[in-house]
Amino acid sequence: MTRGERRAVIRGTGSALPDRVLTNADLEKMVDTSDDWIATRTGIRERRIAADDEYMSQFATRAAEQALSSAGLPASQVDLIICATVTPDMPIPATACIVQDRLGATGAAAFDLAAGCSGFIYGLAVAERFVASGDYRAILVIGAELLSKFTDWRDRATCVLFGDGAGAVVLTPGEAPYGVLATSMHADGSMADFIYVPAGGTREPASERTVAERRHFIRMRGNETFKMAVRSMEETSRAVLEKAGLTPQDVNLFIPHQANRRIIDAVGSRLGLREDQVYVNIERVGNTSAASIPVALDEAMRKGLVRKGDNLLFAAFGTGLTWGAAVCTWGW
Ligand code: ACO
């Protein structure tokens, strides 16, 4: 296979969600909100929340193990592990290294990738280049987040939105017509304060003051984010489809980042997609950030909604701000 012929094909998928379910009714007892407000404004009915003693690498490892098992690939053959996350186990080292150890993927390079909710798309774009170039033969791309640990459970504007979980895919080389056809990645840091955690980094190291002022939790300008999300997800989806020589009508399944049901519906309708072309699971899992697309993909696979030869479109948007999309022809 020459460099031009070689494509990165998704061979396996996996996902892992916490057992604990937090419903809108539970949230009604915690903050001044209602099931009706949350369901109407976001489409979310419940989400999974990790237990106090659970941490991100546990879910990332479980999702990765499932992806490897569905690909029929031993961990010893993995060349690279990319863990897309903004909620690592700890600031140092990269959680991808912890996952590498847990998997026994001793030959794999490993790094974390921080692009918020767009992290899985960014990870897929990076992995695709390494496989297509022939440098690596098996790459795990994991999207994993425990946003609940950075959620201010007194802030009704954000605490109703997020859920925890992890999803993973395995990419290996294959030939046309299957594989990743096109990807796009974008960022605009002038809107970095739309979704952010002010303290805990080098700018505002953790102190008694930062803890007292609740500056280690997510803050979000939801309304501005919403408008940017719809516009950018539509534009970047159109761009990758065009790069791949496809139109929205050629898409068998669109798996968007699950941030808000209204964002998903608006993007789907602007792209001219029918309801059955769009996969939605936000009502059960909430916004799981970088995990949302691989978790939804794994679910869609298990439900038999993805068949060999199908064209899949992924698009995401998140903190940074970042956004991007990817299109692939399913190969297994
Ligand atoms: N329950 C009841 N009322 C609420 C709640 C709540 N949970 N939250 C906010 N409100 C109130 C507000 O206080 C406001 O009241 P007011 O009119 O009296 O001031 C009113 O509801 C409307 O608030 P908005 O913020 O304008 O509501 P909006 O329709 O924009 O919905 C939402 C808010 C759901 C956050 C929406 O803007 C959204 O989904 N934004 C996008 C979020 C996103 O995509 N984030 C990116 C990914 S996150 C990441 O990268 C980690």
Q: Which two tokens stand for residue 4?
A: 């031009």
Q: What is the dihedral of CA 76, 81, 85, 89, to 10 degrees?
A: 50
Q: Which two tokens stand for residue 231?
A: 């516009």
- Residue 216: the pLDDT is 98
- Residue 332: the pLDDT is 84
Backbone torsions φ then ψ of 123, nearest 5 degrees? -65, -40
Ligand 1 pocket mutation pick from 147, 226, 228, 265 by most atoms within 8 angstroms of CB: 226
Q: Give distance in angstroms: CA of 293 to centre of ligand 1.
A: 22
CB 260 within 8 A of CB 42: yes
- Residue 5: the pLDDT is 79
Q: What is the DSSP string of 193-248?
A: GGEE--SSSSSS---HHHHHTTTTS-EE-HHHHHHHHHHHHHHHHHHHHHHTT--G
Q: What is the DSSP string of 36-87?
A: HHHHHHH--SEEE---TT--HHHHHHHHHHHHHHHHT--GGG--EEEEE-SS
Q: pLDDT means per 10 residues in the chain (332 residues)?
A: 82 98 98 98 98 98 98 98 98 98 98 98 98 97 98 97 98 95 97 96 97 97 91 97 97 98 97 96 98 98 97 97 98 88
- Residue 233: the pLDDT is 97
By DSSP bridging, strand 311-318 and strand 322-329 are: antiparallel
Q: Which are the contacts of 270, defined by CB distance < 8 A and separation ≥ 6?
A: 230, 234
- For the question of residue 97 being annotated catalytic, the response is no
Secondary structure (3-state) at 326: strand
Q: Give distance in angstroms: CA of 64 to centre of ligand 1.
A: 33
Instruction: Give this prediction's pTM.
Output: 0.96
- Residue 3: the pLDDT is 62
- For the question of residue 117 being annotated catalytic, the response is yes
42 lines ligand 1 (CB under 6 A): yes
58 lines ligand 1 (CB under 6 A): no
Which residue(s) pair with 329 in the sheet?
A: 179, 311
- For the question of residue 216 being annotated catalytic, the response is no
**How distant is the alpha carbon of residue 182 from its chain centre?**
18
The residue contributing the CA closest to ligand 1 atom 15 is 157
Q: Give distance in angstroms: CA of 223 to centre of ligand 1.
A: 6
